[in-house]
């Protein structure tokens, strides 16, 4: 992303901190549209024919260390929603409103244009009983907001990245994500939490995903953090007729990782897939809890978790499947690895 694009993206972040209903904001918006149209002046313009700004536009201006970019996925082009110590970084992000909304939860919670979606979906499937989910809801302000309208698909996948800089001796982060994929729409997401120092971090994350009829969601969670990072991740998924949602969890590092995946099948011919790969060492601990609630007939769910646990690391898998009486012709598959070492614990499927 060049400097012009970064400045346009920064303006989106700037809007979160001003009164967009004020008449002055109309002036700001018009000015930004003018800059977006014209860009930086060039030597083709009479007033600038002796001065070139080309070299400035090639500089990667940023208030954040460049080495964090090694944590991005460079093999593919993606939209990026990046947070630094819980604060949105426009310099590292690339959002869009081109036919879809890939932007900030803070915008969605405060701007009238998002009110209808927020009222219908926000905090509708997240647990009202789970204490850590409730804690996140109480402090919910920032995170990723993704809305994909009917029959739409973003031009590229979305990366959601949370960095902890270690500027504080210890920090607690509570990101909140809302993802809505309407009928026959598609979305691919890669989510990552990354500490940059050995200072203690606790992240209490909640994500709500709504997949409408025939929608497809492919979601990758990359958990490869330092030995002082703790992550509690609660993800809630509401699926409707003929939708397909896949959650892939890759757990390669972290002091404590707790993954709660909760699927609710509210329709027929639904496919829910959970796949997990865990490779840990030292005294690291991972706890996978999954729930699939089959509420309607003719649906499938697939769970496949594998792990390698070295040294004094420990792992837990607790897979729960609920099949309502009406949910005839349900196919529910659950595959767990044979015990790799004595630290691997299984809780029975119910």
One digit per residue, pLDDT tens: the chain, 350 residues? 566 676 666 666 556 555 566 444 665 677 667 667 777 667 787 654 555 556 445 644 333 344 566 666 666 789 999 998 888 888 788 899 999 999 999 888 888 899 899 989 998 998 887 888 888 887 888 899 999 999 999 999 999 998 888 777 777 888 999 999 999 999 999 999 888 878 888 888 999 999 999 999 999 999 888 888 888 899 999 999 999 999 999 998 888 888 999 999 999 999 999 999 998 888 888 888 899 999 999 999 999 998 888 878 888 888 889 999 998 998 888 876 544 554 445 444 44
C-alpha span between 132 and 128 (Å, rounded): 10
Q: Is the Cβ–Cβ distance between 260 and 231 less than 8 Å?
A: no
C-alpha span between 47 and 49 (Å, rounded): 6
Q: For residue 222, what are the contacts with CB-CB under 8 A and spacing of at least 6?
A: 190, 191, 192, 250, 252
Residue 22: the pLDDT is 44
Task: Quote the tokens at residue 61.
Answer: 């201006």
pTM of the model: 0.78
Task: Give the number of residues written for the chain.
Answer: 350
C-alpha span between 5 and 60 (Å, rounded): 12
Count other Cβ atoms within 10 Å, centred on residue 77.
11
Q: Are strands 186-195 and 158-164 parallel, antiparallel or unpaired?
A: parallel
Residue 347: the pLDDT is 46
Q: Is the Cβ–Cβ distance between 313 and 284 less than 8 Å?
A: yes
Residue 151: the pLDDT is 97
Q: Is the Cβ–Cβ distance between 245 and 180 less than 8 Å?
A: no
C-alpha span between 323 and 330 (Å, rounded): 8
Residue 98: the pLDDT is 92
Q: Is the Cβ–Cβ distance between 16 and 109 less than 8 Å?
A: no
Q: How many alpha carbons lie under 13 Å from residue 68 in its C-beta half-sphere? A: 23
């Amino acid at each position: 992303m060049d400097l012009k694009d970064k400045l346009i993206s920064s303006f989106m972040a700037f809007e979160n901190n001003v009164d967009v209903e004020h008449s002055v904001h109309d002036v700001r918006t018009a000015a930004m549209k003018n800059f977006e149209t014209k860009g930086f002046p060039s030597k083709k313009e009479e007033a600038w024919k002796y001065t070139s700004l080309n070299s400035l536009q090639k500089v990667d201006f940023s208030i954040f260390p460049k080495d964090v970019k090694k944590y991005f996925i460079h093999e593919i082009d993606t939209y990026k929603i990046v947070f630094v110590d819980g604060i949105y970084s426009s310099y590292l992000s690339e959002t869009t409103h081109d036919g879809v909304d890939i932007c900030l939860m803070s915008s969605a919670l405060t701007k009238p244009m998002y009110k209808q979606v927020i009222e219908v979906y926000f905090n509708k499937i997240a647990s009202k009983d789970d204490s850590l989910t409730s804690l996140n809801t109480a402090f919910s302000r920032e995170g990723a907001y993704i809305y994909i309208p009917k029959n739409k698909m973003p031009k590229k996948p979305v990366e959601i990245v949370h960095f902890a800089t270690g500027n504080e001796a210890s920090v607690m982060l509570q990101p909140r994500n809302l993802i809505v994929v309407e009928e026959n729409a598609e979305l691919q997401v890669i989510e990552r939490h990354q500490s940059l120092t050995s200072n203690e971090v606790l992240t209490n994350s909640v994500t709500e995903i709504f997949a409408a009829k025939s929608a497809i969601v492919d979601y990758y969670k990359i958990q490869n953090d330092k030995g002082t990072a703790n992550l509690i991740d609660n993800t809630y998924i509401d699926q409707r007729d003929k939708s397909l949602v896949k959650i892939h969890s890759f757990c390669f590092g972290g002091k404590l990782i707790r993954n709660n995946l909760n699927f609710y099948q509210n329709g027929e011919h639904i496919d829910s897939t959970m796949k997990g790969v865990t490779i840990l060492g030292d005294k690291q601990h991972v706890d996978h809890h999954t729930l699939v609630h089959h509420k309607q007939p003719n649906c499938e769910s697939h769970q496949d978790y594998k792990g390698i646990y070295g040294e004094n690391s420990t792992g837990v898998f607790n897979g729960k499947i609920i099949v309502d009486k009406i949910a005839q012709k349900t196919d529910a598959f659950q595959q767990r690895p044979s015990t790799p070492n004595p630290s691997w614990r299984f809780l029975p499927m119910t």
